[in-house]
Structure 1
Amino acid sequence: MNPIFKHGPSPQHRLVLVLFCSALLIFFDHKMNSFEFVRGYLQSMVSPLQYLATTPKQAIDWAVENLTTRQHLIEENQRLKSNELQFQEQAMQLNILKQENDRLRSLLSSPVRKDAKKMVAEILSVDSDPYSHQVVINRGANDGVFEGQAIIDEKGIVGQILHVGTITSRVILITDVTHAVPVRIRRNGIRMVANGTGTIDRLVHNFVPHSTDVVVGDLLVTSGLGGKYPEGYPVAKVVAVKMDESRPFAQVQSEPVAQINRLRYVLLLWPEKPTAIFSSKDALTAIPENENAGS
């Protein structure tokens, strides 16, 4: 029940009083910092509530950041693995190219004659017959290849052309059982014949007298006889000499200096142009007429 008579100040007076007190509080707080302690105390009381209010948002932000970062790390890890594989493959390719470049450089600076006509050829296939040491190269009649042409690598004699095709040729290696190379010992010039044995790292020399001056380690080079191989190219090194008086001849074996089982590129050699030989008639023809008249 509402009282009939109301006591106390009117609402207008209360409003004015409140405004006046507020103005005083603002003045004292601004000029004298009178309520700094109270403000700090209230702030301390409110801080837990602020932290509690912001906790859900912070939790969501942390989860989103960590999930995004983990997914990013997974993608980056996969990308780095892919790049590593590509770099490893490129490194292997570069290593292979470097080896081939070194091999070709060694091949082009072949022993003995540096000014002879040469052509690099690549091995296309190797004969699968274990008793036949033959390979196929990617050069043929279109490149000027001919039967009996000498083949070398960066170390020495490899073999010779056996059959010539249009764009490929078949090479018989010096280790083939049907192949023989006239050689001489570089140390003393004694001539022998190096025969293939069907073994990739062995040559034999038949009909060598017991008195022959040959020792292990002697380098055998082409003698130039027969006209198939140019003179002076390395062929093999003597690895075994057996002087058995019960046999009519000494047993001599050698090892090819060419890397027969590692062939990838070979070098084709062309014979040097023969020196022109003039007859006495040609020489007289070449004498000027005025000299003939003077004589």
Structure 2
Amino acid sequence: MKPLFNPGPSPNVRVILAVLMALGLLVADHHQHHLELLRTALSLVTYPLQLAADRPSQLFREARERLAGQDVLRDENTGLHRENLLLKARLQQFESMEAENARLRDLLGSSLDVGERVLIAEIMAVELAPYRQQVMLNKGTNAGVFVGQPVLDANAVMGQIIRANPFSSVVLLITDSDHALPVEVNRNGLRTIAAGTGPNHDLELLYIPKNADIQVGDLLVTSGMDGRFPSGYPVARVKTVRQDPDNPFTTVIAEPTARLDRSREVLLVWNLNETSRLQALTAEAAKPRDMPQ
């Protein structure tokens, strides 16, 4: 039975023919470049297929780079946030130091105006009881602090030392209800007593006659009559003058000039001679024990 199709050359012959044709094409292309156009056409045809084959790997690389970029950005953002917090904290310290330097400059200017021996002290604690107007300083008898010593801030009189320990001391503020200070009106020399009012944080002028020349805005300064505070230190400004028919005296309220609730540094003043200082110490020691200290 004859086969329907002629099987043709054997496989070995076919391979040899294919190799010879390939060699011939390579030689012809090398010398004559006849296949350049064909190669260009085939590259245009296969380019979309190459893009399609490379797209998954490209997407994977882009996703990995995007995730890596997000991690880098997240790390950079975290670092910048921390650095921002640190800079803000340092800025707060700089602002605090700047304010402290301003206060110290004010105190230095006040000490030059005082013209006496002075010592800068810092407030350590504030009495929290509403009817006690006292603060504690970080200077005591080891620094020469003594009972009755005047205490000022950069603006005016704050109070006086009522208790002195080796390393600390207690100041009775002029607004305490147990404190009274001889003052005079700077405008006309009218003398009176400025007594503390406690929780009101004001001063009340005692025994002002109704015909006295005193006005709102008058500056009150120390008169020096008590032998402790030298004369001429600012104390307060008059803010209320009221005539009460039932009161034989004029009601006068003054606001302290010192920043009693804001000052952190104060001036301790040595303004007494030795005799007056001994008298002050003797008077302090002779006080009855039941009197507030």
Q: What is the TM-score when the length of structure 1 is the normalising length? A: 0.81
Give, in whole Å, the separation in 2 of the partners of 1:10 and 1:195: 128
User: Structure 1 unaligned runs (5+)?
Assistant: 275-295
**Letter of the 1:171 counterpart:** V
* Mean Cα deviation higher: 135-144 or 67-76: 67-76
- Superposed, 1:56-75 pairs within 5 Å as 56-75=56-75
**Letter of the 1:27 counterpart:** H
Note the C-alpha offset of 1:15.
Answer: 6.7
Note the C-alpha offset of 1:242.
Answer: 2.1
2:213 matched residue in structure 1: 213
- Superposed, 1:104-183 pairs within 5 Å as 104-110=104-110, 113-183=113-183
1:252 matched residue in structure 2: 252
- Superposed, 1:71-82 pairs within 5 Å as 71-82=71-82
Task: Name the CA shift for 1:189/1:25 in 2 (closer, same or farther; >3 Å).
Answer: same
Task: Name the CA shift for 1:189/1:36 in 2 (closer, same or farther; >3 Å).
Answer: same
1:192 match: secondary structure = strand
Note the C-alpha offset of 1:82.
Answer: 1.6
Task: Name the CA shift for 1:103/1:21 in 2 (closer, same or farther; >3 Å).
Answer: closer
Give, in whole Å, the separation in 2 of the partners of 1:10 and 1:131: 120
Give, in whole Å, the separation in 1 of the partners of 2:111 and 2:238: 19
1:71 match: secondary structure = helix
2:96 matched residue in structure 1: 96
Give, in whole Å, the separation in 2 of the partners of 1:140 and 1:163: 9
2:13 is aligned with 1:24:
no
Give, in whole Å, the separation in 1 of the partners of 2:189 and 2:63: 88
Count of residues in Structure 1 that have an aligned counterpart in Structure 2: 267
Task: Name the CA shift for 1:38/1:174 in 2 (closer, same or farther; >3 Å).
Answer: same
Give, in whole Å, the separation in 2 of the partners of 1:16 and 1:51: 34
Task: Name the CA shift for 1:17/1:65 in 2 (closer, same or farther; >3 Å).
Answer: closer
Note the C-alpha offset of 1:36.
Answer: 3.8
* Mean Cα deviation higher: 126-135 or 174-183: 126-135
Contact 2:228–2:272 (Cα < 8 Å) also in 1? no
2:284 matched residue in structure 1: none
Give, in whole Å, the separation in 2 of the partners of 1:48 and 1:12: 34
Give, in whole Å, the separation in 2 of the partners of 1:173 and 1:37: 105
Give, in whole Å, the separation in 1 of the partners of 2:69 and 2:14: 64
Contact 2:219–2:237 (Cα < 8 Å) also in 1? yes
Task: Name the CA shift for 1:111/1:251 in 2 (closer, same or farther; >3 Å).
Answer: farther
1:278 matched residue in structure 2: none
1:76 match: secondary structure = helix
Give, in whole Å, the separation in 2 of the partners of 1:18 and 1:207: 130
User: Structure 2 unaligned runs (5+)?
Assistant: 275-293
* Mean Cα deviation higher: 39-48 or 10-19: 10-19
2:270 matched residue in structure 1: 270
Give, in whole Å, the separation in 1 of the partners of 2:112 and 2:27: 113
1:288 matched residue in structure 2: none
Contact 1:200–1:260 (Cα < 8 Å) also in 2? no
Task: Name the CA shift for 1:212/1:24 in 2 (closer, same or farther; >3 Å).
Answer: same
**Letter of the 1:248 counterpart:** P
Give, in whole Å, the separation in 1 of the partners of 2:257 and 2:212: 22
Task: Name the CA shift for 1:111/1:245 in 2 (closer, same or farther; >3 Å).
Answer: farther
Deviations 1:130-151 (Å, cap 9, x if unpaired)?
Answer: 2121111110000000111100
Deviations 1:241-280 (Å, cap 9, x if unpaired)?
Answer: 1234553222211111011122322111111669xxxxxx
Give, in whole Å, the separation in 2 of the partners of 1:221 and 1:191: 10
1:262 match: secondary structure = coil
Contact 1:112–1:233 (Cα < 8 Å) also in 2? no
Give, in whole Å, the separation in 1 of the partners of 2:195 and 2:266: 21
* Mean Cα deviation higher: 130-139 or 37-46: 37-46
Task: Name the CA shift for 1:18/1:182 in 2 (closer, same or farther; >3 Å).
Answer: closer
Q: What is the TM-score when the length of structure 2 is the normalising length? A: 0.81
Give, in whole Å, the separation in 1 of the partners of 2:14 and 2:171: 127
Report % sequence identity.
Answer: 38
Give, in whole Å, the separation in 2 of the partners of 1:11 and 1:108: 109
**Letter of the 1:52 counterpart:** A
Contact 1:111–1:233 (Cα < 8 Å) also in 2? no
